[in-house]
Amino acid sequence: MSARLTITKTPKCYVGGAFIRSESGRVFELKDQKGEFFANVPLCSRKDLRNAVEAAAKAGPGWAKRTAFNRGQILYRVAEMIESRVEEMAEALMLGGATKVEATKEVVAAVDRIVHYAGWTDKYEAMLGSVNPVASAHFNFTVTEPMGIIGVLAPDERPLLALVSLILPAITSGNCVVALASEARPYPAILLGEMLAVSDLPGGVVNLLTGKRAELVPTFATHEHLRAISGVVNAEQRKALRLGAAESVKRVRLGKAEEAVDWEAETMQGLEEIRALVECKTTWHPVGG
């Protein structure tokens, strides 16, 4: 009897709650640590990006309307889904060159980061909003609202922790995300998609693309339905994104890929990150009859 042939997985991108290949049919080759063929990863096109934005637009209103408590439960569920598969995710990171110790450390840090944000969903508003004591007979208050769809560009360093650190503050407040995974190390994002799919996160809230950054940056920059861009990119891409953002006064929050980032630092998570991706709305409500 011959040895059983293992089933290899075809990596697919998680978009709109479904697993897709690129509409272009293109793939790029991913090699393992030994330099041997591992898998063909979708080489997403600009059209894929636009489709993902559409999927996010469909999911957006529903996600933003979920109660803060419900969003917290769902984010916590996401953490549960990764925690139970730490080893598998660590292997995905090792594929990109991380040692087992490093990889495991990164995965648990990512899980902890998700738990951190799960706890913020029903608290950030109390910190960022306000009741404003105006000098007239009005109940004047400021609340935050999600911006809408956020474009995320993840760096190659810490391909899971950085990706998660960029996505979570966006979805905590009810935004949806279209994220481009690390170009050099896309596999953790593929796996993350599979984990999100079995969490309770509604399809379309997080959409994960793989592909060439240089090809997709121009569309990220100018797509008017992306209301903000959050990511870590190089100087040239920062300029391109900001130039494109000017066309529709898009909000831009970019870190420098050329500088080392301590993704595990406490200051890489929390209220400031949430604040960067919400709008403030002030209402003047009359008081008295």
- 144, 118, 225: which is closest to 178 by C-alpha? 225
How near is the Cβ of 202 to other proteins at its closest, in Å? Answer: 20
Number of residues that bind other proteins (CB under 8 A): 36
Q: Judged by CB, which is closer to other proteins: 29, or 247?
A: 247
Residue 194: how many CB atoms within 10 A of its CB? 17
Q: Can residue 198 be called a binding residue for other proteins (CB under 8 A)? A: no
Site string for other proteins, 213-232 (x = CB under 8 A): --------------x-----
Choose the binding region for other proteins from 50-58, 102-110, 125-133, 195-203 (rule: CB under 8 A): 125-133
With CB under 8 A as the contact rule, the residue among 33, 84, 142, 214 that binds other proteins is 142
Distance between CA atoms of 142 and 128, rounded to whole angstroms? 8
Q: Rule CB under 8 A: is residue 243 a binding residue for other proteins?
A: yes
Tokens 């905590």 correspond to what residue?
Answer: 172
Asked if 285 touches other proteins (CB under 8 A), the answer is yes
Site string for other proteins, 82-121 (x = CB under 8 A): ----------------------------------------
What is the closest distance, in whole angstroms, from the C-beta atom of residue 167 to other proteins in the complex? 21
265 touches other proteins (CB under 8 A)? no
- Contact between residue 14 and residue 196 where contact means Cβ atoms under 8 Å apart: yes
Cβ pair 216, 240 in contact under 8 A:
no
Contact by Cβ (8 Å): 172, 68: no
279 binds other proteins (CB under 8 A): yes
Which of 16, 119, 203, 270: binder of other proteins (CB under 8 A)?
270
Cβ of 240: how many Cβ atoms within 10 Å?
A: 18
CB 206, min distance to other proteins, A:
23
Distance in angstroms (rounded) separating the CA atoms of residues 172 and 68: 8
Looking at the Cβ atoms of 26 and 123, the one nearer to other proteins is 123
Q: Which two tokens stand for residue 254?
A: 């970019």
Q: Which is nearer to other proteins, 64 or 86 (CB)?
A: 64
Q: Should residue 135 be labelled a site residue for other proteins when binding is judged by CB under 8 A?
A: yes
Identify the H or E element spanning 106. Answer: helix 100-118
State how far the Cα of 39 lies from the Cα of 27, in Å rounded to an integer.
9
Q: Please, what is the minimum distance in Å from the beta carbon of residue 146 to other proteins?
A: 11
- Secondary structure (3-state) at 254: strand
Outline where 16-144 has alpha helix (H).
46-65, 68-83, 86-94, 100-118, 124-128
Select from 4, 7, 101, 133 the one that contacts other proteins (CB under 8 A): 133
d(CA 63, CA 43): 28
Assigned token pair, 67: 């109660």
Question: Residue 267, interface with other proteins (CB under 8 A)?
Answer: yes
What are the angstrom distances between the C-alpha of 62 and each of 65, 141, 259, 288? Answer: 5, 24, 37, 34
- Site pattern 245..264 for other proteins (x: CB under 8 A): xxxxx-x-------------
Query: Residue numbers of the site for other proteins (CB under 8 A)?
Result: 127-128, 130, 132-136, 138, 140, 142, 227, 235, 238-239, 242-243, 245-249, 251, 267, 270-272, 275, 279-286
